[in-house]
Amino acid sequence: METNENQTYDQPKKTKEYIIIGVLAALLLGSIGYNFYQHQNNKSEMDLMEIDLKDTEQAKIILQNQLDSLTEQFELSRVDLEVKDSLLSKRDAEIFDKQKEIQNILNKSNVSESELKQARRMINALNADIARFKQEIAVLQQKNDSLIVVNDTLRYNSFKLGEKANIQKQKAEATEKKMRSTFSVSNYQITGLRVRNSGKEVETDKAKRIDKLRVSFDLDPNEFAESGEQEIYIAIYKPDGTLGKFTDASPGQLETWSLGSVEYSDKVAFDYTKGTKQNVTFDWEEYDFPKGTYKIDLYQNGLKIGQKSLSLR
Protein backbone atom coordinates (compact mmCIF):
# COMPACT_ATOMS: atom_id res chain seq x y z
CA MET A 1 0.00 0.00 0.00
CA GLU A 2 1.28 3.46 -0.86
CA THR A 3 2.02 5.93 1.88
CA ASN A 4 0.60 9.49 2.04
CA GLU A 5 4.03 10.80 1.13
CA ASN A 6 4.05 8.73 -2.07
CA GLN A 7 0.55 9.89 -2.92
CA THR A 8 1.59 13.51 -2.41
CA TYR A 9 4.69 12.97 -4.54
CA ASP A 10 2.56 11.48 -7.37
CA GLN A 11 0.31 14.55 -7.63
CA PRO A 12 2.62 16.62 -9.95
CA LYS A 13 3.16 13.55 -12.13
CA LYS A 14 -0.60 13.00 -12.48
CA THR A 15 -1.14 16.68 -13.25
CA LYS A 16 1.44 16.53 -16.07
CA GLU A 17 -0.37 13.51 -17.49
CA TYR A 18 -3.66 15.44 -17.54
CA ILE A 19 -1.99 18.36 -19.31
CA ILE A 20 -0.40 16.09 -21.93
CA ILE A 21 -3.73 14.36 -22.56
CA GLY A 22 -5.45 17.72 -22.89
CA VAL A 23 -2.88 19.07 -25.34
CA LEU A 24 -2.98 15.90 -27.47
CA ALA A 25 -6.78 16.04 -27.55
CA ALA A 26 -6.63 19.69 -28.61
CA LEU A 27 -4.15 18.92 -31.38
CA LEU A 28 -6.24 16.01 -32.61
CA LEU A 29 -9.39 18.11 -32.66
CA GLY A 30 -7.54 20.91 -34.42
CA SER A 31 -6.24 18.51 -37.05
CA ILE A 32 -9.72 17.10 -37.73
CA GLY A 33 -11.17 20.57 -37.86
CA TYR A 34 -8.48 21.78 -40.22
CA ASN A 35 -9.02 18.90 -42.65
CA PHE A 36 -12.78 19.43 -42.61
CA TYR A 37 -12.59 23.15 -43.20
CA GLN A 38 -9.90 22.71 -45.86
CA HIS A 39 -12.23 20.38 -47.74
CA GLN A 40 -15.07 22.87 -47.47
CA ASN A 41 -12.80 25.68 -48.68
CA ASN A 42 -11.68 23.74 -51.73
CA LYS A 43 -15.31 22.94 -52.62
CA SER A 44 -16.34 26.59 -52.27
CA GLU A 45 -13.44 27.77 -54.41
CA MET A 46 -14.43 25.30 -57.15
CA ASP A 47 -18.03 26.54 -57.04
CA LEU A 48 -16.95 30.18 -57.35
CA MET A 49 -14.61 29.39 -60.23
CA GLU A 50 -17.62 28.24 -62.27
CA ILE A 51 -19.31 31.64 -62.06
CA ASP A 52 -19.69 33.45 -65.39
CA LEU A 53 -18.22 36.85 -64.56
CA LYS A 54 -19.31 38.28 -67.94
CA ASP A 55 -22.87 38.17 -66.66
CA THR A 56 -22.11 40.82 -64.07
CA GLU A 57 -25.59 41.02 -62.54
CA GLN A 58 -25.92 37.28 -61.98
CA ALA A 59 -22.29 37.01 -60.78
CA LYS A 60 -22.91 39.90 -58.40
CA ILE A 61 -25.93 38.12 -56.90
CA ILE A 62 -24.01 34.84 -56.46
CA LEU A 63 -21.02 36.57 -54.87
CA GLN A 64 -23.29 38.58 -52.55
CA ASN A 65 -25.02 35.39 -51.43
CA GLN A 66 -21.63 33.78 -50.78
CA LEU A 67 -20.48 36.83 -48.80
CA ASP A 68 -23.70 36.82 -46.74
CA SER A 69 -23.24 33.11 -45.99
CA LEU A 70 -19.65 33.63 -44.87
CA THR A 71 -20.65 36.63 -42.80
CA GLU A 72 -23.32 34.58 -41.04
CA GLN A 73 -20.81 31.78 -40.33
CA PHE A 74 -18.36 34.32 -38.99
CA GLU A 75 -20.91 35.93 -36.68
CA LEU A 76 -21.99 32.54 -35.33
CA SER A 77 -18.36 31.67 -34.63
CA ARG A 78 -17.90 34.89 -32.72
CA VAL A 79 -21.01 34.22 -30.64
CA ASP A 80 -19.74 30.74 -29.72
CA LEU A 81 -16.31 32.06 -28.83
CA GLU A 82 -15.92 31.80 -25.05
CA VAL A 83 -12.15 32.21 -24.88
CA LYS A 84 -10.41 35.18 -26.45
CA ASP A 85 -6.76 35.90 -27.00
CA SER A 86 -4.69 38.44 -28.95
CA LEU A 87 -4.36 36.21 -32.05
CA LEU A 88 -8.13 35.72 -32.38
CA SER A 89 -8.74 39.42 -31.87
CA LYS A 90 -6.35 40.17 -34.75
CA ARG A 91 -8.07 37.57 -36.98
CA ASP A 92 -11.43 39.09 -36.08
CA ALA A 93 -10.33 42.56 -37.21
CA GLU A 94 -8.76 41.27 -40.44
CA ILE A 95 -11.88 39.33 -41.44
CA PHE A 96 -14.12 42.29 -40.68
CA ASP A 97 -11.97 44.57 -42.90
CA LYS A 98 -12.09 42.06 -45.78
CA GLN A 99 -15.87 41.83 -45.49
CA LYS A 100 -16.18 45.59 -45.77
CA GLU A 101 -13.85 45.74 -48.78
CA ILE A 102 -15.77 43.00 -50.63
CA GLN A 103 -19.10 44.59 -49.77
CA ASN A 104 -17.88 47.93 -51.12
CA ILE A 105 -17.14 46.29 -54.48
CA LEU A 106 -20.50 44.52 -54.63
CA ASN A 107 -22.33 47.72 -53.69
CA LYS A 108 -21.20 49.42 -56.89
CA SER A 109 -24.02 49.91 -59.39
CA ASN A 110 -21.78 49.48 -62.47
CA VAL A 111 -19.38 46.83 -61.23
CA SER A 112 -16.89 45.59 -63.82
CA GLU A 113 -15.84 42.05 -64.66
CA SER A 114 -12.35 42.71 -63.29
CA GLU A 115 -13.81 44.02 -60.02
CA LEU A 116 -16.02 40.93 -59.72
CA LYS A 117 -12.94 38.79 -60.33
CA GLN A 118 -11.21 40.64 -57.51
CA ALA A 119 -14.28 40.16 -55.29
CA ARG A 120 -14.34 36.44 -56.10
CA ARG A 121 -10.67 36.13 -55.22
CA MET A 122 -11.22 38.02 -51.95
CA ILE A 123 -14.26 35.86 -51.06
CA ASN A 124 -12.15 32.73 -51.54
CA ALA A 125 -9.51 34.26 -49.27
CA LEU A 126 -12.21 35.27 -46.77
CA ASN A 127 -13.59 31.74 -46.80
CA ALA A 128 -10.13 30.40 -45.93
CA ASP A 129 -9.69 33.03 -43.18
CA ILE A 130 -13.03 32.16 -41.57
CA ALA A 131 -12.24 28.45 -41.76
CA ARG A 132 -8.91 29.09 -40.05
CA PHE A 133 -10.66 31.29 -37.50
CA LYS A 134 -13.09 28.46 -36.67
CA GLN A 135 -10.23 25.99 -36.41
CA GLU A 136 -8.30 28.23 -34.03
CA ILE A 137 -11.42 28.70 -31.91
CA ALA A 138 -11.92 24.91 -31.74
CA VAL A 139 -8.30 24.29 -30.73
CA LEU A 140 -8.33 27.10 -28.17
CA GLN A 141 -11.63 25.93 -26.72
CA GLN A 142 -10.33 22.37 -26.45
CA LYS A 143 -7.21 23.59 -24.67
CA ASN A 144 -9.41 25.61 -22.35
CA ASP A 145 -11.55 22.54 -21.64
CA SER A 146 -8.39 20.55 -20.92
CA LEU A 147 -7.20 23.23 -18.51
CA ILE A 148 -10.59 23.14 -16.81
CA VAL A 149 -10.16 19.39 -16.31
CA VAL A 150 -6.64 19.94 -14.96
CA ASN A 151 -7.79 22.73 -12.64
CA ASP A 152 -10.71 20.66 -11.40
CA THR A 153 -8.34 17.76 -10.80
CA LEU A 154 -5.92 19.99 -8.94
CA ARG A 155 -8.73 21.38 -6.80
CA TYR A 156 -9.98 17.86 -6.08
CA ASN A 157 -6.48 16.62 -5.22
CA SER A 158 -5.94 19.69 -3.05
CA PHE A 159 -9.23 18.98 -1.28
CA LYS A 160 -8.32 15.32 -0.73
CA LEU A 161 -4.86 16.25 0.54
CA GLY A 162 -6.41 18.81 2.85
CA GLU A 163 -8.91 16.22 4.02
CA LYS A 164 -6.12 13.71 4.70
CA ALA A 165 -4.10 16.38 6.47
CA ASN A 166 -7.13 17.21 8.62
CA ILE A 167 -7.61 13.52 9.47
CA GLN A 168 -3.94 13.22 10.39
CA LYS A 169 -4.22 16.36 12.49
CA GLN A 170 -7.24 14.97 14.32
CA LYS A 171 -5.40 11.69 14.94
CA ALA A 172 -2.36 13.58 16.24
CA GLU A 173 -4.54 15.67 18.55
CA ALA A 174 -6.31 12.54 19.82
CA THR A 175 -2.95 10.86 20.42
CA GLU A 176 -1.61 13.91 22.25
CA LYS A 177 -4.75 14.05 24.41
CA LYS A 178 -4.38 10.36 25.24
CA MET A 179 -0.72 10.79 26.15
CA ARG A 180 -1.46 13.74 28.41
CA SER A 181 -4.28 11.86 30.15
CA THR A 182 -1.98 8.90 30.92
CA PHE A 183 -1.22 8.57 34.62
CA SER A 184 2.20 8.68 36.20
CA VAL A 185 2.76 6.35 39.14
CA SER A 186 4.55 6.94 42.44
CA ASN A 187 5.02 4.96 45.69
CA TYR A 188 4.79 1.71 43.73
CA GLN A 189 5.17 -1.23 46.14
CA ILE A 190 4.80 -5.03 46.04
CA THR A 191 4.49 -6.66 49.46
CA GLY A 192 4.40 -10.32 50.44
CA LEU A 193 1.78 -10.99 53.15
CA ARG A 194 1.05 -13.87 55.47
CA VAL A 195 -2.48 -13.99 56.88
CA ARG A 196 -2.71 -15.35 60.42
CA ASN A 197 -5.71 -17.22 61.79
CA SER A 198 -6.80 -14.05 63.50
CA GLY A 199 -6.93 -12.33 60.13
CA LYS A 200 -3.94 -10.12 60.84
CA GLU A 201 -1.63 -9.57 57.88
CA VAL A 202 2.14 -9.79 58.40
CA GLU A 203 4.79 -8.80 55.84
CA THR A 204 7.23 -11.52 54.77
CA ASP A 205 9.57 -12.36 51.89
CA LYS A 206 9.63 -16.12 52.61
CA ALA A 207 7.93 -17.89 49.75
CA LYS A 208 6.58 -20.82 51.77
CA ARG A 209 4.87 -18.50 54.25
CA ILE A 210 3.24 -16.09 51.77
CA ASP A 211 -0.51 -16.19 51.26
CA LYS A 212 -0.78 -13.27 48.85
CA LEU A 213 1.03 -10.41 47.17
CA ARG A 214 -0.30 -6.90 47.61
CA VAL A 215 0.30 -4.36 44.85
CA SER A 216 -0.09 -0.69 45.78
CA PHE A 217 0.68 2.55 43.94
CA ASP A 218 -0.37 6.19 43.82
CA LEU A 219 -1.68 7.90 40.71
CA ASP A 220 -0.24 11.39 40.58
CA PRO A 221 -2.67 14.29 39.96
CA ASN A 222 -3.48 14.67 36.25
CA GLU A 223 -5.47 17.66 34.96
CA PHE A 224 -5.95 15.99 31.56
CA ALA A 225 -7.44 12.74 32.85
CA GLU A 226 -11.23 12.98 32.91
CA SER A 227 -13.25 12.09 35.99
CA GLY A 228 -15.03 8.77 35.88
CA GLU A 229 -14.14 5.12 35.45
CA GLN A 230 -10.55 4.43 34.47
CA GLU A 231 -8.70 1.16 33.83
CA ILE A 232 -5.14 0.00 34.39
CA TYR A 233 -3.88 -3.29 32.96
CA ILE A 234 -1.77 -5.59 35.14
CA ALA A 235 0.81 -8.08 33.85
CA ILE A 236 2.22 -10.40 36.53
CA TYR A 237 5.20 -12.59 35.64
CA LYS A 238 6.17 -15.63 37.74
CA PRO A 239 9.79 -16.56 38.48
CA ASP A 240 9.75 -18.91 35.43
CA GLY A 241 8.69 -16.00 33.17
CA THR A 242 5.14 -17.20 32.54
CA LEU A 243 2.14 -14.93 32.97
CA GLY A 244 0.37 -15.24 36.30
CA LYS A 245 -3.43 -15.34 36.42
CA PHE A 246 -5.85 -14.12 39.06
CA THR A 247 -8.84 -16.11 40.25
CA ASP A 248 -11.93 -14.79 38.43
CA ALA A 249 -9.68 -12.40 36.46
CA SER A 250 -10.16 -11.14 32.90
CA PRO A 251 -6.84 -11.70 31.12
CA GLY A 252 -6.27 -10.66 27.52
CA GLN A 253 -3.98 -8.88 25.09
CA LEU A 254 -3.12 -5.22 24.91
CA GLU A 255 -1.66 -3.19 22.03
CA THR A 256 1.20 -0.96 23.16
CA TRP A 257 3.04 1.89 21.44
CA SER A 258 6.53 0.42 21.65
CA LEU A 259 6.21 -3.25 22.65
CA GLY A 260 3.55 -4.38 20.22
CA SER A 261 0.92 -6.77 21.60
CA VAL A 262 1.43 -7.89 25.21
CA GLU A 263 -0.57 -10.19 27.44
CA TYR A 264 -1.98 -8.99 30.72
CA SER A 265 -3.21 -10.88 33.78
CA ASP A 266 -6.12 -8.65 34.67
CA LYS A 267 -7.36 -5.09 34.58
CA VAL A 268 -8.24 -2.91 37.54
CA ALA A 269 -11.17 -0.52 37.19
CA PHE A 270 -11.60 2.46 39.53
CA ASP A 271 -13.35 5.83 39.73
CA TYR A 272 -11.03 8.77 39.26
CA THR A 273 -11.55 12.40 40.22
CA LYS A 274 -9.85 14.79 37.81
CA GLY A 275 -6.71 16.48 39.16
CA THR A 276 -6.49 14.44 42.37
CA LYS A 277 -3.94 12.00 43.76
CA GLN A 278 -5.39 8.54 44.17
CA ASN A 279 -4.20 5.24 45.60
CA VAL A 280 -4.87 1.93 43.84
CA THR A 281 -4.43 -1.39 45.65
CA PHE A 282 -5.13 -5.00 44.71
CA ASP A 283 -4.10 -8.45 45.98
CA TRP A 284 -2.90 -11.56 44.16
CA GLU A 285 -3.78 -14.62 46.23
CA GLU A 286 -4.86 -18.25 46.05
CA TYR A 287 -1.57 -19.21 44.51
CA ASP A 288 1.31 -21.38 45.74
CA PHE A 289 4.17 -18.87 45.55
CA PRO A 290 7.52 -20.56 44.75
CA LYS A 291 10.88 -18.96 45.41
CA GLY A 292 12.19 -16.47 42.88
CA THR A 293 11.60 -13.02 41.49
CA TYR A 294 8.11 -11.77 40.60
CA LYS A 295 7.69 -8.85 38.23
CA ILE A 296 4.52 -6.79 37.89
CA ASP A 297 4.02 -4.29 35.03
CA LEU A 298 1.32 -1.63 34.82
CA TYR A 299 -0.14 -0.34 31.51
CA GLN A 300 -2.49 2.45 30.55
CA ASN A 301 -3.32 3.92 27.12
CA GLY A 302 -0.84 1.52 25.49
CA LEU A 303 2.04 2.77 27.65
CA LYS A 304 3.90 1.04 30.46
CA ILE A 305 3.44 3.32 33.47
CA GLY A 306 4.99 1.17 36.15
CA GLN A 307 7.33 -1.79 36.69
CA LYS A 308 8.28 -3.39 39.96
CA SER A 309 9.73 -6.70 41.15
CA LEU A 310 9.86 -8.68 44.40
CA SER A 311 12.21 -11.54 45.26
CA LEU A 312 10.97 -14.31 47.55
CA ARG A 313 13.42 -16.57 49.37
Best CA proximity match to 223, nearest among 300, 169, 277, 301: 277
154 and 221 housed in the same domain: no
Contacts of 154 (CB under 8 A, 6+ apart): 15
Q: What percent of the chain has pLDDT over 90?
A: 27
What's the pLDDT at 128?
84
Q: DSSP alpha helices (H): ranges in the chain? A: 4-49, 56-80, 86-106, 113-180
- Give yes or no: residues 261 and 302 share one domain: yes
Q: pLDDT tens digit string along 101-122? A: 888 888 888 888 888 888 888 8
Contact between residue 70 and residue 129 where contact means Cβ atoms under 8 Å apart? no
Window from 171-180, 250-259, 289-298 with minimum mean pLDDT: 171-180
Q: Model confidence over 232-280: pLDDT tens digits?
A: 999 999 999 999 887 788 899 999 888 889 999 999 999 999 989 999 9
Domain end point (choices 176, 205, 232): 176
- Indicate the residue among 149, 176, 203 that finishes a domain: 176
pTM: 0.50
Question: Is 63 in the same domain as 210?
Answer: no
Q: Is 117 left (phi over 0), alpha (psi -120 to 50) or beta?
A: alpha
Q: Three-state SS for 298?
A: strand
Q: What is the pLDDT of residues 216-227, one digit of tens each?
A: 999 999 988 889
| 209 in the same domain as 152 | no
Q: Which residues contact 224 (CB under 8 A, 6 or more apart)?
A: 177, 180, 181
| Residue 20 sits in the same domain as residue 142 | yes
Say whether both 190 and 160 belong to one domain: no
> Would you say residue 149 has pLDDT above 80?
no
Residues spanned by the domain of 230: 185-312
Residues 171 and 192 in one domain: no
Average pLDDT over residues 297-303: 92
- On whether both 267 and 140 belong to a single domain, the answer is no
Instruction: Indicate the residue among 125, 147, 176 that finishes a domain.
Output: 176
Q: What is the pLDDT of residues 189-229, one digit of tens each?
A: 999 999 998 889 999 999 888 888 999 999 999 988 889 99
Task: Tell me how many domains the chain contains.
Answer: 2
What DSSP designation does 243 have?
A: B
Same domain, 80 and 225: no
From residue 185, alpha-carbon distances to 50, 71, 213, 268 in Å are 106, 90, 19, 14
CA diameter of the chain:
142
Residues 205 and 302 grouped into a single domain: yes
Query: What's residue 28's pLDDT?
Result: 52
CATH number of the domain enclosing 229 = 2.60.40.10
* pLDDT computed for residue 76 by the predictor: 72
Residues 165 and 192 reside in one and the same domain: no
pLDDT number for residue 208: 87
Is residue 48's pLDDT more than 50? yes
User: Are both 252 and 273 inside the same structural domain?
Assistant: yes
